[in-house]
Amino acid sequence: MRKYLPFGKPDFGDREIEAVTRVLRSGWVGMGPETIAFEEDLARSVGVPHAIAVNSCTSALLISLRLAGVGPGHEVVCPSLTWCSTANVALYLGAKPVFCDVDPETLCLTPETVARVLTPRTRAVMAVHFGGFAADVGELRRALPDHVAIVEDAAHAFGSRYPDGRLVGASGNLCCFSFYANKVLSTGEGGAVTLVDAEAAEQIRSLRQHGLAVDAWKRFTHPGVLLDANLTQLGYKANYTDLQAAIGRVQLSRQEEFRRTRLEAAEIYRDGLRGLPVTLQRQVTDPGHSRHLFIVILDDEARPTRDELLVALRRRNIGATIHYEPLHLMPLYEGDGAPVSLPHTERVAANILTLPIGASVSADDARDVVAAMQAILG
């Protein structure tokens, strides 16, 4: 390829630019009416009463764990095959992340992999919908004690569907989305929590703005609303902005377009990689998969190796990458106990590779990637 192809790039067009321009001209760019409208649109699209926008999915996960009662002395179970935020938010609250294995075909945790690491100290399970494959949180809920909360890390899974057909985010759990640059719905940065409980929703709205009961939009635009100085809880600086929300509202309206683009690329990959020494994540071309990532897993005996393949693709201007290095092998998370062994995670992580896919990856781009894979591995 003559031009570098990133593994994930947003598609921002004239409508997004016009939306941002409209907000800039309004004179209000912080969290205000556009954010409220985006949250309403988002809740409606997922099928829940409440969606609260925050500055990142990391903040969404942190606040959700706090609402689940996680604190010092508790354990939070999460897969090792995930981005570090999933584990770090437990550390921020003084809890301990405990890593579980994944299913080698879906790359998600299962009730069985979680059960192996549950202890009396377990307070929450972080269900990561890896790459856009929706983990079965209903089955997981039935397998867990009542006092163990499920927080869904749906950073990859906007638009994905659970096995029962509902959209991810509508399970009744606290469900956290990411709107980072390469995500299915992108606002450059940001995240959101979707939920059904009204009281918990109000808690999140307060916690995202230092614990205040009234946001800046109401304080500065409504004469009868004053700053409530009686803070009763320590919150965070995690608010969203109307600039991001304006982009998000347009991106929401374009989701069907993006779904078709991602599906076309995934089908080209699926068909073009047949016969090569790789396997794909299960159901990556099914309707319930958001296809945030397109994952290939090299056979153990494949040559070149995964790292050699990555270098060879990048030399061809193809931005393949790795999702992820397993967290349980990183020094930050090493505890005082015996080393953790997660055989499926370790085998998959040694052979995993992400091919470019996204709103800006065309069918021709996907065919070029297939041709390069065939040339290198064929």
Write out the catalytic residue numbers: 183
Q: 3-state DSSP call for residue 46? A: helix
Q: 3-state DSSP call for residue 303? A: coil
Name the nearest CA neighbour of 62 among 97, 108, 27, 38: 97
Name the nearest CA neighbour of 184 among 53, 367, 9, 313: 9
Q: How far apart are CA 14 and CA 231, in angstroms?
A: 42
Q: For residues 304-343, b (16+ Cβ closer than 10 Å) or e, as one string?
A: eebeebbebbeebebbbbebbebbbbeeebeeeeeebebe
CB 355 within 8 A of CB 294: yes
Q: Positive or negative, the Cα torsion across 12, 247, 252, 356?
A: positive
Name the amino acid, one letter, at 53. Answer: A
The residue to which tokens 């614990």 are assigned:
211
Q: 3-state DSSP call for residue 80? A: coil
Name the DSSP class of 276.
S
Name the DSSP class of 209.
B
Q: Is the peptide bond before 324 cis (omega within 30 degrees of 0)?
A: yes
Q: For residues 73-99, b (16+ Cβ closer than 10 Å) or e, as one string?
A: ebbbbbbbbbbbbbbbbbeebebbbbb
CB 53 within 8 A of CB 41: no
70 — phi, psi (to 5°)? -75, 135
Name the nearest CA neighbour of 304 among 322, 325, 278: 278
Name the DSSP class of 318.
B
